[in-house]
Chains A and B, each alone.
Chain A
Amino acid sequence: MPGLITMEDLTNEEIISILDDAERLLPIACGERYLPLLRGRILGNLFFEPSTRTRMSFETAMKRLGGDVINLGDVKNSSVVKGETLYDTIQMIDGYSDIIAMRHPRQGAAQYAADACKVPILNGGDGAGHHPTQTMLDLFTIRQAHGTLENLRVVLAGDLRYGRTVHSLSHALVRFGCKVIFASPKSLSMPTEIIADIVNQGGDVEETEDLLSEINQADVIYMTRIQKERFPDEDEYLKVADAYKLHARDLDDAKSEMIIMHPLPRVEEIHPSVDKTRYARYFEQAFNGVVTRMSLMCWLLGVGVPEDVIAASEVIG
Chain B
Amino acid sequence: MSANEQSMRRVTAIRNGTVIDHVPGGMSLTVLKMLGIGGVMSNPVSLLMNVPSKKLVSKDIIKVEDRELNQNELDRLALVAPDASISIIRAYSVAEKLTINLSEEITNVARCSFSNCITSNSREPLPHRLLIVARDPLEIRCHYCGKLQEINDLVERLI
Contact = CB atoms under 8 A, between A and B. Distances in A.
Contacts of B116: 105-107, 127-128
Interface residues of B, number: 19
Interface string A100-129: 000011111101100110000000001111
A111 B121 contact: no
Contacts of B123: 83, 85
B102 to A, nearest CB: 20
A87 interface: yes
A107 B126 contact: no
B124 A108 contact: no
A127 B146 CA distance: 12
Of A85, A86, A108, which is in contact with the most chain B CB atoms at under 10 Å from its CB?
A108
Contacts, number: 60
Nearest to A84: B123
A79 to B, nearest CB: 13
A87 B124 CA distance: 6
Interface stretch (B38-46, B51-59, B64-72, B137-145): B137-145
B105 to A, nearest CB: 13
B126 A106 contact: no
A35 to B, nearest CB: 37
28 contacts: A6-B146, A83-B123, A85-B124, A86-B118, A86-B124, A104-B118, A106-B117, A107-B116, A107-B117, A107-B144, A107-B145, A108-B119, A108-B142, A108-B145, A109-B118, A111-B143, A111-B144, A111-B145, A112-B119, A112-B124, A112-B144, A115-B126, A126-B118, A126-B145, A127-B145, A129-B145, A129-B146, A193-B146
Interface of A: 6, 83, 85-87, 104-109, 111-112, 115-116, 126-130, 193
Interface of B: 112, 114, 116-121, 123-126, 142-148
Shortest beta-carbon contacts, A-B, top 10: A108-B144, A108-B145, A107-B145, A106-B118, A108-B118, A109-B118, A112-B118, A111-B144, A193-B148, A108-B117
